[in-house]
Amino acid sequence: MRAWSSFLCLALALLCACAFVGAQRGNRLKSTDASDIDRGLKIYEKSCAVCHFATSPEKKIGPGMKGVMKKPKFSNGWRVNDENMRRWIVAGGKNMPPSRLNAEQLRELLAYLKTL
Ligand code: HEC
């Protein structure tokens, strides 16, 4: 009896875990699909490419964006994550102008930056 109920518990837990992972994966697919990345690329070309290389980490006017979302930290010490990337883009830097992108454009731009 006891073994039976713990087996049930385990099975239930596994089911939950699977459902959770499945849902997460679904969300991710929904929040960044190919057309987001495509629109993000256009935004990048229009607003960022003058100062940032996309295909190299070398400096143009600002540092290259190749692999930027995979770095542990920005030059100012902030951890690299979605939130801080948005802050950077919105606020700008010493020699980087703040950009006036809306939430949707930021989401698309981030989707693109993650592919670099
Ligand atoms: C006029 C040039 C210019 C434009 C346009 C520009 N940047 Fe920058 N960016 C810079 C400079 C210069 C820096 C270095 C920090 C500073 O001096 O502000 C920088 C820094 C950054 C950093 C921090 C990198 C690090 O490792 O610390 C990120 C991320 C970034 N820019 C992303 C973007 C994105 C995304 C766009 C487009 C929305 C953009 N930048 C547009 C010039 C620019």
Q: What is the pLDDT of residues 38-72, one digit of tens each?
A: 999 999 999 999 999 999 999 999 999 999 999 99
For residues 46 and 83, membership in a common domain is answered with yes
| Domain interval for residue 80 | 33-113
Q: What is the pLDDT of residues 13-28, one digit of tens each?
A: 655 454 655 555 545 5
Distance (angstroms) between ligand 1 centre and the Cα of 67 equals 14
> Residues with beta carbon inside 6 Å of ligand 1?
47-48, 50-52, 61-63, 68, 74-75, 88-89, 93-97, 99
For residues 14 and 71, membership in a common domain is answered with no
C-alpha 97, offset from chain centre: 21
| Separation of alpha carbons 81 and 88, rounded Å | 11
| Separation of alpha carbons 1 and 36, rounded Å | 53
* 107 contacts 62 by C-beta, under 8 angstroms: no
For residues 42 and 24, membership in a common domain is answered with no
For residues 27 and 39, membership in a common domain is answered with no
CATH code, domain with 52: 1.10.760.10
Number of separate domains in the chain: 2
